[in-house]
Amino acid sequence: VMNKSSVTEVKTDFLIIGSGLSGLYAAIYASKFGKVALITKSSIQESNSYWAQGGIAAAINSDDSTEIHKKDTLSVGCGLNNLDAVNIMVSEGTERVLELINQGMSFDRAESGFDFGIEGGHSRRRILHALGNETGKAVVDFLSKEVQKNNKIKIYENSFVIDLFSDSKTCFGCLVFSDTKKNKISIHSKSTILATGGACGLYSQSSNPSSTSGDGIALGLNAGATVKDMEFIQFHPTVFSKEGAKNFLISEAIRGEGGQLINHSKIRFMENYSKQLELAPRDIVARAIFNEMRMNGEKNVFLSLKHLKSSLIKNRFKNTFELCLREGLDITKDDIPVSPAAHYMIGGIKTNAGSQTNIKNLYACGEVACVGAHGANRLASNSLLECLVFAKRAIDSALELSKKEKQIPKKLIEKAKKYSLISSDKKVESYLNYRISLSQIINNYVGILRNKKDLLLALNEISSIKRKNLDEFDLIDKRLMNLKSLTYLITKSALLREESRGAHIREDFSSQSNKWLKHINWKLTNGTLRFSYSKQ
C-alpha cells in the first residue's frame, strides 16, 4: 500500500493544465522557451475543443475586415464586452490562424480558396472549417501530433489536479493525482496556466462531455483567483434530442447552409422571432425553440434539411449524417429532433488581456477564463479563436513576469501530504448521486429562461445537499464541495442580475437595464464566497 503522505516531486518552467486547443497551443509555444509539463485528466481526445464543429472565425476573406468582425462580436455581446480584449482577439486572431496554416494545418477549400462558412450573428462568411464540420478534431489532432513528438513537453495523461499550490497571492504549481501510477505528484513551476475548459457538463442537458465540470474554475477559486460573469451560460439552440439517445451537437453551420427549424405542426417558426430567421444570434434562436416547446408541451422541435442537396449534406456534414444514421434517421429525408442544451461558459476566471489572473504566476486562457471578449453572449466560432490568441498571450506574460523560481511554502507541502487517495465505495456512490441531483437542479431552474422563484428554489436545494463530516482531504469530498460552489455561483449570479442581457434571460426582468452595465465578481475569502461589482 502506498504511503498516503509520500509525494513525488517534479520541477518545470511551464505547467499547463488542460489539453484542449488552449493547452496544446500554449504547450507548443512554451516549449521554445523551457520545459513544459502538460496535464490532462483523461486523454487528449476528451476536450471540448476536440468536439468543436463549426470552425474558427477570422477576418481573412477579401470582403471582410477585423473591424467588421469586431462589430459583429460587440453586437452579440450586448454592451458587456471588454473592448481591449475584442480588438486583440480579432486582430491577433488572424495572425494566429495564418501561422497555423503556414505550419501545415489544412482547412477545407472551395474552387477559389478557402471554403468560408457562416453562422448566426456573422455578417460575412468568415468561418474556416476542416473535415466538413469536425474542425476541433482536425486542429486538436494536428497540434497533439506536434506535442507528442516534442521532447520538451512531458504529458501526464489520466492525471487529476487536486489543488494549486497557492498562498492566495502567488501560485507555485500544483498537486496531481496520477490515476495510472496511483500516486501524488507535486509539480513545482515558475508559471501555471489553467486551460481546463468550461463547466457546462454540470447541466444534465449539455452538448459537452460530462468531464467538463468546471474543475479549473474551482481550482482558481480555491487558490484565491477572482471569478466573474458566471450567470452567462450559452445554450446551443440545436442539440440532438431523442428519448434514450445520447445528446450530440447539431452544428450551427447546418442552419448557415439553409437548414430550417420547424415545430411539431411542421411549420417554420423563426419568422415570428427575428428578421434573421434561422441565422439570428444563438440566444434568440434558443429562446424561440424553448418557447415553441413550451407552447406546445413538446420536448423538442425539428431541423429540416430535406430541401437541400443530399450530396451537400453528406459531404459538408458527414459526421452529423453518420451520427443521425446510427439513431435510425437519414437526414437527407428525415427531420432532426433538436432542443437547446448548455453549451458554453462565458464566465470564468477573471484575467486581463495578458491572460493574467489576480494571483501571481497564475494564468488562464480559453473557456476556463473570462477575459471579457464575449461580453454577455459569445459570437459563434469565436471560441477557438480566443483559445489561440490568449494561450499565446499567457505564455508571453509568463516569460515576462514569471522568471524567478519561488520555493513552495512548507505549509502547502504539509497540506499536500494529508490528501488521501482512497475513498470508500459508499462515498463514491453518494457523490455520483449528488452530482446527478445538482445537474438536474441547475438544468431545471437555471436554464434558458430564469425567474426569481426558480432561482431561490435552486439555491435552497443546492444548500440542502450536505454530507456529514465533509473531509477536504478526501478527493471525492473535495469534488463535491467544488460542484456545490460552482452550481451556487451560477445560480446566485443569475439571481443577482435583475435584467435580461445576452445569454442571461430573466422572465421577471425581461429588458436590458443600464444599471447592469457591470460585472459580478466572486472571491473565496476565509472559506466564504463573496461577490462584488465592477465596470470591467
Residue positions annotated with a catalytic role = 282
Nearest Cα to Cα of residue 330 among 349, 346, 317: 317
CA separation for the pair 219, 515 (Å, rounded): 31
What CA dihedral angle connects 144, 148, 154 and 157, to 10 degrees? Answer: 60
Asked if 240 and 336 count as a contact pair (C-beta separation under 8 A), the reply is yes
Sign of CA dihedral 36, 39, 45, 47: negative
Give residues with Cβ within 8 angstroms of 525, minimum separation 6: none
Tell me the three-class secondary structure of 122-184, residue by residue. CCCCCEECCCCCCHHHHHHHHHHHHHHCCCCEEEECCEEEEEEEECCCEEEEEEEEECCCCEE
CA separation for the pair 160, 312 (Å, rounded): 42
CA separation for the pair 112, 490 (Å, rounded): 46
What CA dihedral angle connects 229, 231, 232 and 235, to 10 degrees? Answer: 150
Asked if 116 and 126 count as a contact pair (C-beta separation under 8 A), the reply is yes
CA separation for the pair 138, 55 (Å, rounded): 10
